[in-house]
Amino acid sequence: MGRRRNSRANVVAVFIVAAVVLVGSWIAAHRDPAPSAAIPESTPAAAVAAPTRPADAVAMTMEYAYDGDTIRARPAEPSTLLPTTDAVRVRIIGIDTPEGTPTVECGADEARAHLARLLPEGVRLWAAVEQEPQDRYGRWLLHLWTDDGRFVAGELVAAGDAVALRVPPNVAHAPLFSALQADAEAAGRGQWSACR
């Protein structure tokens, strides 16, 4: 009789412990998360694990941000990449941002503002081509870096202000952009929280 009571007591104790563990796990999984800290205006380059500016990158002067992925910039001097010093229209490779015209899409103003913070008018930036240098609209397809070495497209995607856009043959950094987008979406940064 004593053994049977101890056996029942052990079963009941195991059941109670298991129930407490299950309830605790369920509560932890379903409770409201702690309020998140404010998202920085620009994700640090180290967090992005971005490519460094190549040695053959061309210096340009920023003139204007049309939207979050297209700018007007002026080459500092003619080069084999850009054989002019006239201002050119540049489409940043590998990303897409919400459109600002003809109607303003959710996140368009934030994307353009973020790009303008990274590349204010008058600053020097650096540009490099990948495989295809121009699109059918005559825009230059370039990767851009700030003068202090930040990879512009990576920072925009990491902040949730741009999404990855894979357009062959310019796809060298597509895996990076996809990973950054997944991280921004999971964290609810930028348009991933504001535009849902």
User: How far does the chain reach from its first CA to its final CA, in angstroms?
Assistant: 64
Contact status, residue 58 vs residue 75, Cβ threshold 8 Å = yes
Task: Give the 3-state secondary structure of the chain.
Answer: CHHHHHHHHHHHHHHHHHHHHHHHHHHHHHCCCCCCCCCCCCCCHHHHCCCCCCCCCEEEEEEEECCCCEEEEEECCCCCCCCCCCCEEEEECCEECCCCCCCCCCCHHHHHHHHHHHCCCCCEEEEECCCCCECCCCCEEEEEEECCCCEHHHHHHHCCCCEECCECCECCCHHHHHHHHHHHHHHCCCHHHHCC
Which pLDDT does position 20 carry in this prediction? 38
* Stated pTM of the model: 0.75
Half-sphere exposure of 32 (CA within 13 A, CB side): 3
CA dist., res. 73 & res. 142, Å (int): 11
Residue by residue, pLDDT tens for the chain (196 residues) are 555 455 555 544 444 434 433 334 433 333 333 333 333 444 443 344 679 999 999 999 999 999 999 999 999 999 999 999 999 999 999 999 999 888 899 999 999 999 999 999 999 999 999 999 999 999 999 999 999 999 999 999 999 999 999 999 999 999 999 999 999 999 999 999 999 7
- For the CA atoms of 129, 135, 139, 142, the dihedral, rounded to the nearest 10 degrees, stands at -20
Yes or no: say if 192 and 160 are a contact pair by the CB < 8 Å rule.
yes
Place of tokens 């849902």: 196
Over residues 61-84, the pLDDT tens digits come to: 999 999 999 999 999 999 999 999
Give the pair of three-digit tokens for residue 196. 């849902």
38, two tokens: 């404010």
